[in-house]
Amino acid sequence: MDYVEENVPLAPYTTLGVGGQARFFAEVQSRAYLCVALRSATAKGVRVCVLGGGSNTLVPDEGVDGLVLRIKIPGMSFHDDGTGTGALVRAGAGISWNTLVRYATSRGLWGIENLSGIPGTVGAAPVQNIGAYGTELADTFVSADVITFPKMEHLRINATQAQFGYRESIFKKDSSMIITSVTLRLSRERIVRKTYSDLENARERGVMLDTSLDIARALQDIRSKKFTIRANEGTAGSFFKNPIISKERYDVLQKRFPNMPGFPIGTNIKISLAWILDTVLHMRGFRKGNIYLSDHNPLVLVVRQPSTEKEVGEFADDIALRTKTATGITIEREVRSCKLTTM
């Protein structure tokens, strides 16, 4: 395999900044090179793991005994969608998500402005159906082109096949799918959304929020302040997902915690883990060694160097155990372990 490096430390390729080495590592600049690398991996019996910007990935201390492919596939194109009010936007999986948001909003397009400021790549965005400020990727998703490993099928996965849910998708369940590009449908007409206190506060400070570009810029600014970390620290944003529980279970919990916020999702209720960590467990700013929960948002785990993946894992397990003990709720990590495909 050309351009494949050996024994490459992965910590610098992730925002958490912990973990060991990749046995093999390659940056993938094109779909053609991806095919070459995957065929070569199959021939040598090497398993594969995909990395984008590393902003939602925890690398094991023992490293990854396979080929880590860092997806850098470029390209971005905009076309009318034929309705006169919309545009189809296609972007390579390696494009930075924020570059896409900035491009789209600069062209007056609406639909992803509330997702401004989320780190990472376009290719990873459908994996956990990124979401913020009442918007999810699923709202604009049309399709993703994927190559499966090791079967090497070239598929176009549409929105139904993508099986999106809260931080869920087929791409997350089936790690054989490597996304090479994503197509979104955006609108030329303003999409009016629920207002959020962060944006209302910005408006009161005189920040313009007339265009999608204004909103994208304002949110980028708001988020950069919310996720402030020091130079020798790392984070992956929210480390855990907000739990989704049945209405019956929520009603029981609400008797114990009358102010517990709940947001309906279908017939279930999504509850705010940040609220539980803050109000029930008093863990805002909780620290163990070099790892702590953010003062701004207790859902955000911050890692100060030097740290190990084992320490991050133990800290996270402790949070999960305390939550379970206090509320009976089992919480799930949002951050993903570097997972090798099966062959």
Which amino acids are annotated catalytic? Answer: 167, 238, 334
Cα–Cα nearest to 276, from 294, 298, 301, 245: 298
Q: How far apart (Å, rounded) are the C-alpha atoms in residues 209 and 203?
A: 7
Q: How far apart (Å, rounded) are the C-alpha atoms in residues 245 and 339?
A: 27
* 256-261 long-range Cβ contacts below 8 angstroms, 24+ apart: 257/327
Residue 51 in contact with ligand FAD, rule: CB under 6 A: yes
Q: Whose Cβ is closer to ligand FAD: residue 66's or residue 119's?
A: 119
**Count of CB atoms situated within 10 Å of the CB of 287:** 12
Residue 59 in contact with ligand FAD, rule: CB under 6 A: no
Q: Which of the stretches 55-63, 74-82, 212-220, 283-291 binds ligand FAD when contact is defined by CB under 6 A?
A: 55-63
Measured from the CB of residue 16, what is the shortest distance to ligand FAD in angstroms? 8
Q: Whose Cβ is closer to ligand FAD: residue 46's or residue 50's?
A: 50
Which residues from 236-275 bind ligand FAD, rule CB under 6 A? 236-237
Residue 123 in contact with ligand FAD, rule: CB under 6 A: yes
Distance of CA 77 to the CA centre of its chain: 23
Measured from the CB of residue 258, what is the shortest distance to ligand FAD in angstroms? 28
Q: How far apart (Å, rounded) are the C-alpha atoms in residues 203 and 62?
A: 48
Distance of CA 300 to the CA centre of its chain: 13
Question: ∠ CA 267-269-274 to the nearest 5 degrees?
Answer: 165
Q: Which string of x and - marks every residue 315-334 that binds ligand FAD (by CB under 6 A)?
A: --------------------
Q: Which sign does the torsion angle of CA 8, 13, 164, 244 carry?
A: positive
Q: Whose Cβ is closer to ligand FAD: residue 101's or residue 253's?
A: 101
Measured from the CB of residue 84, what is the shortest distance to ligand FAD in angstroms? 31
Applying CB under 6 A, the residues found at the interface with ligand FAD are 15, 50-57, 71, 93, 118-121, 123-125, 127-128, 130-132, 171, 178-179, 227, 235-237, 336
